[in-house]
Amino acid sequence: VSQTNALDQMSARALARAIAAKSISSVEATTQSIARLKAAHELTNCTITLEADEALAAAKAADATQAVARAPLGVLHGVPLAHKDMFDRVGKIASWGARIRAEQPATRDAAVIERFKAAGSLQIASLLLTEFAFGATGHNYVLGHGRNPWDPTRITGGSSAGTAAAVAYGAIPAGLGSDTAGSLRLPAAFCGVTSIKPTWGRISKAGAMPLAACLDTLGVIARHVEDLALMLGVLAGPDARDTSASQVPVPDYVAALDAPVRGLRLGIDEALIREAHPAIQKMLGDVIAVLASVGLVKSNCTFSDWQRIDQMTQVMQLPDAASAHGAYLRTRPDDYGPQVRARLEVGHFISGVDHMTALRARGTVLQRVLATTFRDIDVAILPVNADPSPTIAELDVAGGPNMQAAIARVIKYTRPINYLGLPTLTLPGPRHGGLPGGVQIIAKPYAEAVLFAIGQAYQRMVPPEIARPLKA
Amino acid sequence: MTDRLPDTEPAGYLDMPPERRTAARAIVKVLSATMATVALELPLNADVDDFRRILLDAAPNTGART
Burial of B12 (0-12, 13-18, 19+ CB in 10 A): middle
| Residue A433, pLDDT above cutoff 80 | yes
Residue of A nearest to B55 (CA): A445
- Tell me the one-letter amino acid at A321: A
The arrangement of strands across the sheet holding A379-383 comes to A174-179, A217-222, A194-197, A424-428, A438-443, A379-383, A265-268, A297-300
Q: What is the pLDDT of residues A109-149, one digit of tens each?
A: 999 999 999 999 999 999 999 999 999 999 999 999 999 99
Return d(Cα A383, Cα A405) in angstroms, integer: 18
A221-231 mean pLDDT: 98
CB contact (8 A) between residue B35 and residue A315? yes
pTM for this entry: 0.97
- ipTM comes to 0.94
Confidence of residue A5 (pLDDT cuts 50, 70, 90): low
CB contact (8 A) between residue B58 and residue A446? yes
Enumerate the active-site residues of A.
Answer: 84, 159, 183
| Residue A159, pLDDT above cutoff 90 | yes
Task: Give the pLDDT of chain B (66 residues) as one tens digit per residue.
Answer: 455 666 678 899 999 999 999 999 999 999 999 999 999 999 999 999 999 999 999 999 754 333
Whole-angstrom Cα Rg for chain B: 20
Residues of B in contact with A364 (CB under 8 A): 42-43, 46, 50
Residues of A in contact with B48 (CB under 8 A): 356, 359-360, 362-363
Contact map slice: A 194-223 vs B, CB within 8 A: 199-201
Please name which of A167, A166, A154, A250 lies closest in space to residue A202, comparing C-alpha atoms: A250
Return d(Cα A359, Cα A351) in angstroms, integer: 13
A201-211 mean pLDDT: 98
Q: What is the pLDDT of residues B53-66, one digit of tens each?
A: 999 999 997 543 33
H/E segment holding residue A382: strand A379-383
Q: What is the pLDDT of residues A252-302, one digit of tens each?
A: 999 999 999 999 999 999 999 999 999 999 999 999 999 999 999 999 999
Residue of A nearest to B3 (CA): A330
Pure H helices in A120-181: 161-169
Angle, CA of A250, A163 and A452, to the nearest 5°: 35
End-to-end CA distance of chain B: 51
Report yes or no: B22 at the A interface, CB cutoff 8 Å. Answer: no
